[in-house]
Amino acid sequence: MDKYIVVGNPINHSKSPFIHTLFARQTCQNMEYLSQLVALDGFVAAMDTFFSSGGKGCNITVPFKEQAFEYATQLTQRAQLAGAVNTLKCLDDGGILGDNTDGEGLVQDLLQQHVSLKNKRILLIGAGGAARGVILPLLAQQPQTLIISNRTLTKAQQLAALFAEYGDIKALAFDALGEQCFDVIINSTSASLSGNVPAVPASVIGQHTCCYDMVYGSSITPFNQWAQQHNASKTIDGLGMLVGQAAESFMLWRGLRPGAKQVQRELRRLLQ
């Protein structure tokens, strides 16, 4: 049976074994997918052991995504630009391919929820690892513009410069967003995790704006609550992105695209 794992520290919270087990059942794949806690200084040893014993692929979560980037012997372009890897795949020649499926997971979730991105004005809030991981897939959808705004402006400017050749991308401070409103607003900050909302002006939300929080939970996230208070037309949390990134990893490993909707419904039920 083909073996897959997700590694992280902590790892107990990971929904990946649940998601991939459902994907495997859905697509009749003979595979096992387990989680493994890895010591903070034990990533390389854990990967060496896993792949030398025939492991086929691995998902990587906090805090090992940058180490996984270093561990890979080949990188996809999106992983290269993300600077982080969430998926490793053992290649036929023994090499290890590193990919980053987070951004495509976000894009697929938006498209499935009928939020189009082509020629749209997108605001991406935050400039940490989560933002960096989604910029290339967002630009690949050919938005009219992608504004990246962050509490610390210099970090947004660095990301805008890094991705400048891939599309129309600019950095703006929160207080420079002015009166312009956006079609899609994506919150990639960790603010929701501490019950906060980034200090962007509410004028960024117009009548037709869809707001997306990469975070999810059993109740509405603080950012999406704020968006609803300011009459956003739609709010979405990051559960679909979680399932979407998993589906992209599964696709890379097995060459089959699993259905995300049923798995997302079951996960939502688990959260209640």
Name the residues annotated as catalytic.
65
Residue from 152, 203, 219, 229 in contact with ligand ATR (CB under 6 A): 152
CB of 124 to ligand ATR, least distance (A): 10
Sites for ligand ATR among residues 96-135 (CB under 6 A): 126-131
Answer yes or no whether residue 228 interacts with ligand ATR by CB under 6 A. no
CB of 50 to ligand ATR, least distance (A): 24
Residue from 24, 72, 148, 191 in contact with ligand ATR (CB under 6 A): 191
Nearer to ligand ATR, 22 or 213 (CB): 213
Answer yes or no whether residue 55 interacts with ligand ATR by CB under 6 A. no
**Range in contact with ligand ATR (rule: CB under 6 A) among 14-22, 96-104, 149-157, 205-213:** 149-157
CB of 132 to ligand ATR, least distance (A): 8
Q: What is the full DSSP assignment across the chain?
A: -EEEEEEESS-TT--HHHHHHHHHHHTT--EEEEEEE--TT-HHHHHHHHHHTT--EEEE-TT-HHHHHHH-SEE-HHHHHHT--SEEEE-TTS-EEEE--HHHHHHHHHHHTT---TT-EEEEE--SHHHHHHHHHHHHT--SEEEEE-SSHHHHHHHHHHTGGGS-EEEE-GGG-TT--EEEEEE-SSGGGGT------GGGEEEEEEEEES---SS--HHHHHHHHTT-SEEEETHHHHHHHHHHHHHHHHS-----HHHHHHHHHHH-
Task: Return residues touching ligand ATR (CB under 6 A).
Answer: 126-131, 150-152, 155, 188-191, 196, 198
